[in-house]
Amino acid sequence: MDRCEKGRRGEEIAVQALQREGYAIICRNYRRALGEIDIIAAKDGCVYFVEVKAKSSDLFGSPAESVHQAKRQQIAKVASVYIAEAEEETEYGFLVVSVYLDKNKVEIIEDSLL
């Protein structure tokens, strides 16, 4: 399985996991000039910007550990564009969804990026 295929598979698994946990998917692959947000979802009056990381193994760390500071800053910039476009009064949050492809395991991790 190549990197792109892992990414697509990981995002599909993440969407299913989020929906099982009660999240409504607003948008997938939200792209703007500054970058992309994998998934935008909502739950309990909060809109979440979701970064999905999928790995075949955790030999070199968990998938979530690969969301480094530069990636967080890029997501925050793209999220600010979404917030400006949405013009809605709501709470916003950031989630990392770690998908372990070899273990068929998913972790949804709430983060304090924003």
Highest average pLDDT, of 31-40, 49-58, 87-96, comes from 31-40
> Mean pLDDT over residues 44-56, rounded?
91
Instruction: Parse the chain into domains and list their residue ranges.
Output: 3-111
Which pLDDT value is given to residue 15?
A: 96
Q: Which tens digits make up the pLDDT trace of 55-92?
A: 876 667 676 777 888 888 999 999 999 999 988 888 99
Handedness of CA 87, 15, 76, 42 (dihedral sign): positive
Which pLDDT value is given to residue 46?
A: 94
Question: Which structure tokens are listed for 25?
Answer: 């998917």
Which pLDDT value is given to residue 5?
A: 79
104: Cα within 13 Å, side-chain hemisphere: 0
Taking alpha carbons only, the member of 23, 3, 14 closest to residue 104 is 14
Question: Which structure tokens are listed for 77?
Answer: 């910039």
CATH number, domain 3-111: 3.40.1350.10
